[in-house]
Structure 1
Amino acid sequence: MSRPGEVSPESGPAPAQPRPLFGGCLSCRLVCGAGLLLAAAWLYQGPRSSMKRGIPPSMGTIAQITFAISVGAWGVVILWDPVGKQVPKQP
């Protein structure tokens, strides 16, 4: 007879369920995703305003725009939550 907490050899360990991003908390995803999108917009505004004044873009400006787009994409992924939508296949 096995003690509580032990795994018997017949049953084996239970398969681990994938944990949703941010624990599946909708309000956490909304706050974090919206915050990242706003941060991306703020990061994007700096180089765009200098380019609108006629200053040619430098490598730093292009890097900042690329980083802002990456932060925005991260915010969209958190809002969309593709990890929490996956359903494991049952054998």
Structure 2
Amino acid sequence: MSTEVEPTPSKSTQIFKSCWSCRIISGGGLFLSGAYVYFAARNVMRQQGGPASMGMVAQFTLAACLAAWGIVIIADPVGKAQRKA
């Protein structure tokens, strides 16, 4: 017999994880902000016509991180892994 006690998540965390529309809105917002940063950097790079500078690489990296964060919030892989049948 195990006497392990699982920590209970806070009420605000439970509400956020169970609220599908909250995850769609916040994750979609992050994903769309990543798309905006990507296309803004791409337009500037097209206008300059040269190779990508370090600033452009940083913007592309930020765009990828924002989009990935949005997808993770929508998918909620941690919450699904902790659910017990």
TM > 0.5 between the two?
Answer: yes
Q: CA RMSD in A?
A: 2.6
Q: Classify the secondary structure of the residue corresponding to 1:86.
A: helix
Determine if contact 1:24/1:84 at 8 Å carries over to the other structure. Answer: no
Q: Does 2:7 align with 1:16? A: yes
**Inter-partner Cα distance in structure 1 for 2:15 and 2:84:** 19
**Inter-partner Cα distance in structure 2 for 1:69 and 1:27:** 23
Quote how far apart the aligned CAs of 1:46 are.
1.6
Structure 1: which 5+ residue stretches go unaligned? 1-11
Q: Equivalent pairs: percent with the same residue? A: 43
Which residue is 1:38 aligned to? Answer: 32
Alignment TM-score, normalising by the size of structure 2:
0.75
Structure 1 residues 13 and 35, CA gap change in structure 2 (3 angstroms): same
Which residue is 1:82 aligned to? Answer: 77
**Inter-partner Cα distance in structure 2 for 1:89 and 1:34:** 27
Q: Classify the secondary structure of the residue corresponding to 2:82.
A: coil
Post-superposition, which runs of at least 4 consecutive aligned residues in structure 1 deviate over 6 A?
A: none
Which residue is 1:5 aligned to? Answer: none
Determine if contact 1:20/1:83 at 8 Å carries over to the other structure. Answer: no
Higher relative helix content: 2
The letter for the 2-side match of 1:22 is F
Structure 1 residues 86 and 17, CA gap change in structure 2 (3 angstroms): farther
Structure 2: which 5+ residue stretches go unaligned? none
Structure 1 residues 67 and 29, CA gap change in structure 2 (3 angstroms): same
Mark the structure with the bigger radius of gyration: 1
Determine if contact 1:33/1:76 at 8 Å carries over to the other structure. Answer: yes
Q: How many residues align?
A: 79
